[in-house]
Structure 1
């Protein structure tokens, strides 16, 4: 049988407990689209709601009445039918009836934050070694995580946009149109517990 005597173990444990106590905080960092982002440019929809639609998907009951037809004579010659803005286009063929629209889920927030885990752990470690306060560490962690979420959004390719959507916005990236939603992703340090989701 081997007997080991740990010299200074209690002092080490006490010092570690003191360090951990110093790091305890009632503050949290949240990453995503916060209420302050406001509404999307084209309407009354909150930017956070748009983010939630993409994260979880949605079924929308469209009332119909959207004009469709040929945008130009060249489009008519090609028999290329598109949705038209009211009063615009070369020839209206009709208007849509009430119908359901399914927007598939394209999770961007949860996997985007998860992709930041290695960098977040290094940021915490570096902050502790540098003697930073918990507020400073949380700010750094939030900035790292928000940046990684934006990269994830940019790189996301599935599920792809419909061909009509790609024609309309000129891009195949399912989450990037004007870039406003991606730019709305921020971090915020606040007193916990964190509030999640939409009311």
Structure 2
């Protein structure tokens, strides 16, 4: 037979209620690419939009007009056709017509944050035991989660880049070219509700 000692139970419950009330906050921590990250260096696309494109995938209607041909005499001898920068290359063979480009989804944010769950729970517990404020705990959680997302992005391998993309950027990692996207991942503690993000 199981018995419960109820002596002091009400006091314990009251103390727990006080602890939970002290932790209640109208603040939230968001992790990802915030609007402060600005635009991609090469154009008007924002870093946040680029991140969303990788997270969810995209269908892009390309207007065409991209030059292609042989980058050098050696490439011509090998019959190796590549896209050419305007005015560059050994021999232009033509320009592309309007076409659709499908960018596959490479989820990095949601699974990246999920991978931080054990560390986040430990961070919350450690903060509570140390008597930290909710702001301090949220800051610590944000640091941990953003770091785990960056690790996840670095290790992501699938779906792989197209061979032409690997040649162009010199890397098979689909999310890492110059590192700017990964560097744009930050955390922010703010008063809720969250007004940024994609629904």
In the TM superposition, what whole-angstrom CA distance separates every residue of 1:124-177 from its partner, at most 9, and x where no partner exists? Answer: 000000000000000000000000000000000000000000000000000000
In the TM superposition, what whole-angstrom CA distance separates every residue of 1:35-87 from its partner, at most 9, and x where no partner exists? Answer: 00000011100000000000000000000000000001111111110000111
User: Does the CA contact (< 8 Å) of 2:28 and 2:192 recur in 1?
Assistant: yes
In the TM superposition, what whole-angstrom CA distance separates every residue of 1:167-189 from its partner, at most 9, and x where no partner exists? Answer: 00000000000000000000000
Query: Alignment RMSD, CA only?
Result: 1.3
Aligned counterparts of 2:2 and 2:179: Cα–Cα separation in 1? 65
Aligned to 2:63: 63
Which ranges of 4 or more aligned residues in structure 1 deviate by more than 3 Å?
1-5
Which TM-score applies when normalising by structure 2?
A: 0.97
Which TM-score applies when normalising by structure 1?
A: 0.97
Aligned counterparts of 2:23 and 2:63: Cα–Cα separation in 1? 54
Equivalent residues, number? 199
CA spacing shift, 1:55–1:3, aligned 2, 3 Å:
closer
Structure 1 regions of 5+ residues with no counterpart? Answer: none
For residue 128 of structure 2, give the secondary structure of its aligned residue in structure 1. Answer: helix
Deviation at 1:198, TM superposition (A): 4.4
Aligned to 1:91: 91
User: Does the CA contact (< 8 Å) of 1:49 and 1:198 recur in 2?
Assistant: no
CA spacing shift, 1:142–1:7, aligned 2, 3 Å:
same
Aligned counterparts of 1:101 and 1:2: Cα–Cα separation in 2? 66
Deviation at 1:193, TM superposition (A): 1.0
Deviation at 1:4, TM superposition (A): 4.6
